[in-house]
Amino acid sequence: LELKRMSVSREHRGRGLARALCREVLAFARARGYGAVVLSTSMVQVAAQRLYEGQGFRRVGTSYPSLLGTLLNFQIFHYRCELGDGN
């Protein structure tokens, strides 16, 4: 399952909503038999990286979004959370 573009509006940040949403996505995927959840985030999204790593995601790779991204050393980080069999 791929998690794409999860965001919490500024006025609601800091209340644990992103953490709760992430837990819900993992539970949804696990209940439906997915083996893993994957996502990507940019190098500047440090809070997102901490959130995902705190939920069990591990960085599995990096890439550059474009030639300009390569020239600017702007990286996209790829994450994966293995779900196992739920036992």
What's the number of CA atoms in the CB half-sphere (13 Å) around residue 43? 12
The helix (run of H) or strand (run of E) holding residue 78 is strand 76-82
Taking only the tens of pLDDT, the chain with its 87 residues reads 999 999 999 999 899 999 999 999 999 999 999 999 999 999 999 999 999 999 999 999 999 999 988 888 899 999 999 998 654
- The torsion angles phi and psi of 55, rounded to 5 degrees, stand at -95, 5
Which domains are delineated in the chain? 8-80 (3.40.630.30)
pTM exceeds 0.75: yes
Q: Long-range CB contacts (< 8 A, 24+ apart) of 20-27?
A: 22/51, 22/52, 22/55, 23/55, 25/1, 26/55, 26/56, 26/81, 26/83
